[in-house]
A and B are shown apart, each in its own frame.
Chain A
Amino acid sequence: MKNPHITQNIAFFFLFLATLLIVVPVGFIVFVIIQKGLPAIDWQFLSDIPRHGMRAGGIFPAIVGTVYLVTGTIIFALPIGLLAAIYLSEYSKENLLMRLIKLAIVNLAGVPSVVYGLFGLALFVIFFKFGASILSGSLTLGIMILPIIITTSREALESVPYSFREVSLSLGASKWQTIRNIVLPNAVPGILTGTILGLGRAAGETAPILFTVAAFYLPQLPSSIFDQAMALPYHLYVISTQVPNVDEKIRYGTAFVLLALVLIMNLVAIIIRYKFRKRKKW
């Protein structure tokens, strides 16, 4: 009979190997982008417009475009997402409607990103005649990150102990007063975490903005929400596949800026979550 402890050691070795097969490439990817991208970063790269058919110059318009898009996305998605989370955690009962809403959220999260792009094109660009614009792109990205904001905000709201609500209600506060003055303030860190994670996702997505906002090249910055804009992820796609002979340095530099932006957002979210957990009084 085989020794079960030897079997265990072999099995654990393979489990460890599987883990390495994921973690090592992740480390490699981040390392390569930092090693080759960081030297490309200087003030000129960050503040200049692309020049010579995007083979020189900087990526300033793409950074600005992404900032505009992310801002527009949050203005649209946060209020709806937060109110939806309040509905799910404070008002709804376990019934068929609740089940349907949850299923809809799961599905919204699973819709392929390029299908969001099609939807944004059909509804915002063509049907509402917003054209390819920051407005169309932000609304499309907003709907895409709704599930993230709803799910995380709802968890944050539900983690506020029920006794907090009971005390407030017993002091004569109405349901809405209780939510606004007791539940929401205690859930702010969780809501913030979810919002930042959603923004990180919106900043990095390419497919939803392909047909709704992204411009191949714009010499000037957008001046209104009805203008097209360049965006970092689309710019990276363009200089990697559409424009021949782009200096490797520029490509790695763009990838570095995009990755840094997204990872910093995620890091901030993780830090907020961690600090909040440590400080939690209940």
Chain B
Amino acid sequence: MRKLKEFIIEKLILICGLASIFFVVLIFLFLLKEGLAVFSTVSPFKFLFGKNWYPISDPPQLGILPLILGSLLVTLGAAIISIPIGVGCAVYIAEVAPANLKEILKAGIELLAAIPSVVLGFIGMVTLVPFVKTFFHLPTGLTALSGSIMLAFMAMPTIVSIAEDALYSVPKTYKEGAFALGATHWQTIHRVMLPAASRGIVAAIMLGIGRVIGETMAVMMITGNAAVMPNSIFAPVRTLTATIAAEMGEAVVGSEHYFALFAIGIVLFIISFAINVTADLFLHKRQ
């Protein structure tokens, strides 16, 4: 009797162990199931590179190039801001900060990671957006630049914590060796520690960028949501994620618009899959 009970429990454990694989496959399959239908009316090439996104005109024009470029522009801006600051902060916490300050700083970073994106979006709307508007004398502060700044903050916790882990896991002997040769602390950091931790830092940057591309609420609230080809960081843009979030509520189930939004979901899923797999390779392949 006990044997049977344990047999059942152990099988249950095995099934749950496989649940993650099951769910990843399930997500992809359901995105495909709902999204591939759009390609019966638009060719994949026209979908990806079409310059017009007018999903509710007749006939609908379903080109997501403006949305892809919108996502890229906002992400690029966020990367330019968050990479130097994030890596710098990671080095400071891992190497320079005294022990008690270190704990406070780490708690601060965790705090930032815990703030819900809709709260950051709200704060961005009431503080950052008016600031960008007056500072750059723009007709509206809802711009790609505002989105980039806000998203940079959302990428930083990821970049800092993973880069700090990477620095922390560099063998102590490397550092001692450099010190013994008479290097200063800074020389040790940038000639020895940073190169030794480079794989982890690259992974940290990639995962931070992955977070930015997938971010939805904050970006929807402060980038202005204009689904046009972006031509400046001072103009409103629309990202892939914001398009889904803003339009799915109105899309009729089974319409071309509905299929197209799921197809955008496929694009996002593939991007995040590629980023995560590559980052994982960087993190787990030891030289």
B109 vs chain A, min Cβ distance (A) = 7
B146 vs chain A, min Cβ distance (A) = 14
The answer to whether B105 and A23 touch across the interface, beta carbons within 8 angstroms, is yes
* Residues of B close to A118: CB separation below 8 A: 31, 34, 244, 248, 261-262, 265
**Assembled-state Cα–Cα distance A111/B215 (Å):** 10
A117 vs chain B, min Cβ distance (A) = 7
The verdict on B21 contacting chain A, using a C-beta distance below 8 Å, is: yes
The answer to whether B13 and A108 touch across the interface, beta carbons within 8 angstroms, is no
Pick the residue among A23, A87, A107, A115 that contacts B277 (CB under 8 A). Answer: A107
A217 vs chain B, min Cβ distance (A) = 14
Given contacts A4-B187, A101-B18, A107-B273, contact A114 B268 (CB under 8 A): yes
* Residues of B close to A11: CB separation below 8 A: 186, 189-190
Count of chain A residues with Cβ under 8 Å from any Cβ of B?
A: 88
The verdict on B16 contacting chain A, using a C-beta distance below 8 Å, is: yes
**Assembled-state Cα–Cα distance A107/B186 (Å):** 36
A157 vs chain B, min Cβ distance (A) = 12
The verdict on B245 contacting chain A, using a C-beta distance below 8 Å, is: yes
**Assembled-state Cα–Cα distance A206/B115 (Å):** 12
The answer to whether A119 and B272 touch across the interface, beta carbons within 8 angstroms, is no
**Assembled-state Cα–Cα distance A105/B184 (Å):** 41
Q: Which of A95-154 contact B (CB under 8 A)?
A: 100-119, 121-123, 126-127, 143, 146-147, 150
The answer to whether B31 and A80 touch across the interface, beta carbons within 8 angstroms, is no
* Residues of A close to B216: CB separation below 8 A: 112-114, 206-207
If over half of B's interface residues share one DSSP class (helix, strand or loop), that class is named, otherwise mixed; here it is: helix
Pick the residue among B27, B118, B276 that contacts A237 (CB under 8 A). Answer: B118
**Assembled-state Cα–Cα distance A109/B162 (Å):** 14
A110 vs chain B, min Cβ distance (A) = 4
The answer to whether A22 and B272 touch across the interface, beta carbons within 8 angstroms, is no
User: Per-residue 0/1 for A18-42: is the Cβ within 8 Å of any B Cβ (1 yes, 0 no)?
Assistant: 1101110111011011000000000
The verdict on A262 contacting chain B, using a C-beta distance below 8 Å, is: yes
Count of chain B residues with Cβ under 8 Å from any Cβ of A?
A: 88
The answer to whether A110 and B92 touch across the interface, beta carbons within 8 angstroms, is no
The verdict on A278 contacting chain B, using a C-beta distance below 8 Å, is: no
Pick the residue among B86, B108, B262 that contacts A23 (CB under 8 A). Answer: B108
The answer to whether A121 and B6 touch across the interface, beta carbons within 8 angstroms, is no
The answer to whether B217 and A206 touch across the interface, beta carbons within 8 angstroms, is yes
Give the one of B19, B241, B272 with max A CB within 10 A: B19
The answer to whether A262 and B184 touch across the interface, beta carbons within 8 angstroms, is no
- What are 14 A-to-B residue pairs whose CB atoms are below 8 Å? A15-B91, A19-B88, A22-B160, A104-B21, A110-B207, A112-B272, A114-B241, A114-B245, A117-B248, A122-B31, A174-B2, A211-B248, A248-B126, A270-B110
> Could you list 16 further interchain pairs (A-B, Cβ under 8 angstroms) beyond the known A19-B97, A115-B272?
A7-B186, A11-B190, A15-B92, A18-B89, A22-B109, A26-B108, A29-B123, A80-B19, A86-B16, A101-B18, A104-B21, A104-B24, A205-B117, A211-B248, A234-B118, A258-B116
